[in-house]
Structure 1
Amino acid sequence: MSIRVVVADDQELVRSGFSMILEAQPDIEIVGEAGDGVEAVAAVQRHAPDVLLLDIRMPRMDGLEAARLVCGQSGCRVVMLTTFDLDEYVYEALYAGASGFLLKDVRRDDLVHAVRVVAAGDSLLAPSVTRRLVADVIRRRRAEAAEPAPSSARLDVLTAREGETLRLLARGLSNAEIATALFVSEHTVKTHVSNVLGKLGLRDRVQAVICAYESGLVTPGTP
């Protein structure tokens, strides 16, 4: 079964270029394109894609609002497209439920890989760009508001091992790397990650990273 994708970008050359790259893959099908946020939401409702590539800055309805609607109304996985690797709007989109983001100058192979990863239910955390983004935005927001780190009481529902799994996940480690660090199997790590998401009411690993930073479990600059 092919991965169904909608590409939404107000720049026709970017939109058609991404579509051509993805359509050339035997396991990926472009089912729709959109030039703004309104069209993107409508395309998701009409075509029920597995993945939506969504530009963060578009006319009529921006990518942030479109991401909120799509993530709240469907099971479609959203990947944000941006020109800036430290765009605060990207953080807001991730918080709204997007599964990651790509820079528009992404390499062909990385674009294809990202679509496959997200369609499989994972998130774009490697090579830790999302983690760096989240850490940077939270650090700047706290500095601007002169606010202390929030309480970690929310994490009390986690076992010690689940908490350690969340900490390592927030550092950008893969399941295999977490398994090595904790001296357990990858299957056990997957169970821990699933428990963390379920207990904290999180959609995916990206939101787990955000939660880890917001709760103070991991702080910007932590190795």
Structure 2
Amino acid sequence: MSEKNTNRNNPLWDSEKTIEERLDYLVNALTLEEKFSCLGTGNPAIERLGIPAFFVGCEGAHGLQMRHDQSFDKGEPQPTTIFPNPVGMSASWDTELIRQAGEIVGTEARAVFEKEGRRGGLCLWAPTIDMERDPRWGRTEEAYGEDPYLTGKMASAYIQGMRGDGEHIRCGATLKHFYANNVEDGRVWKSSSIDPRNKYEYYLEPFCRAVVEAVPRQ
């Protein structure tokens, strides 16, 4: 985007303001149509606010995925750190270990973002908080097991590491796949019948714990 059609003389770009103040301005400044345009992973430019077109998101379940080899993500591959699968790491019950892994992932996400000219994703598609109630599920390696308490604690630690403790976050976390997702084919439209107790005590429990304990900024 050329400088002549970029308007950054507004509070959104004022680094003296807090993140909350800047986001409040942005939400109020966007039209309804512009808000809808921001719901996907590929977002068009909003030139009147100085926002260029951007793509958000990349995989980060057990390390930052920067192969750049998918149809929606082309570019030069970047070397990143890869950890064991989450279901394996969660067997340690070591939340500090998971937090440290998240910190490395978040740091590398921010570094690649800056290296590539502030392109790429700072909203990682992780952690996977789906309950692994059936080992035949094809994405079992992504999550933390079948126990809702353990899954919630591990996800919280990973999110805290990715985000960081300071005012300026490293990257955002996507708590996926909300909720009760154990099937890939038709997962956005198929009907699921879940009794209230399983809903609140099993499927929603790890998501609730992660939101309350980690306060994800996504």
TM-score, normalised relative to structure 1: 0.28
Q: Which structure has more helix as a fraction of its residues?
A: 1
Q: Which structure has more strand as a fraction of its residues?
A: 1
Q: Which protein has greater RCO, CA pairs closer than 8 Å, 6+ apart?
A: 2
| Larger Rg computed on CA atoms | 2
TM-score, normalised relative to structure 2: 0.28
